[in-house]
Amino acid sequence: MRPFALKCKVNGLDMEREIPSSRSLLDFIREDLGLKGTKEGCGEGECGACLVLLDGKAVNSCLMMAVQLHGKELVTIEGLKGKDGGLHPLQKTFMEEGAVQCGFCTPGLIVASEALLRRKPDATLEDIKQELTGNLCRCTGYEKVLSAVEKARDERNA
């Protein structure tokens, strides 16, 4: 099978690369680009560990093919930064609120939360809970995660 000539933007940088057309987006991110912050949990669209932003929308990269990235902009957890180039506000509030334990789910939770706050800057607690229903976390019990997202929302809107 002939390789596919992929053109896209990844974390702010233009990229051109030949890839097998059968490559999953998740494998492309983790194995080809070496961006290991995006996690593989279930591999079936159930856990949210593999979430990335595609043209600003949160998508499960385990359910997509890399060719679907053509002409689009991908942002992974590594590409989320604060205005000063340091930690993103959600990364800060997750740390401050103790919303990270083993951390496996954290990139997906932050990507989902960022997608929500971009779409709905005044998201309510219910909106946040609804958005994060697709993100499984075995460690935190979610309370601190919700506090962290609310805190980031409030700081963003201050």
Contact positions vs ligand FES (CB under 6 A): 40-43, 45-50, 60, 62, 100-105, 137-140
Nearer to ligand FES, 20 or 41 (CB): 41
Between the CA atoms of 120, 156, 137 and 96, what dihedral angle is there, to the nearest 10 degrees? Answer: -170
Q: Which two tokens stand for residue 74?
A: 């991908």
Nearer to ligand FES, 39 or 153 (CB): 39
Nearer to ligand FES, 49 or 110 (CB): 49
Q: In sequence order, what are the beta bridge partners of 13? A: 10
**At its nearest, how many Å lie between ligand FES and the CB of residue 58?**
11
Listed in sequence order, the residues at least 6 apart from 70 whose beta carbon sits closer than 8 Å to its beta carbon are 4, 6, 7, 8
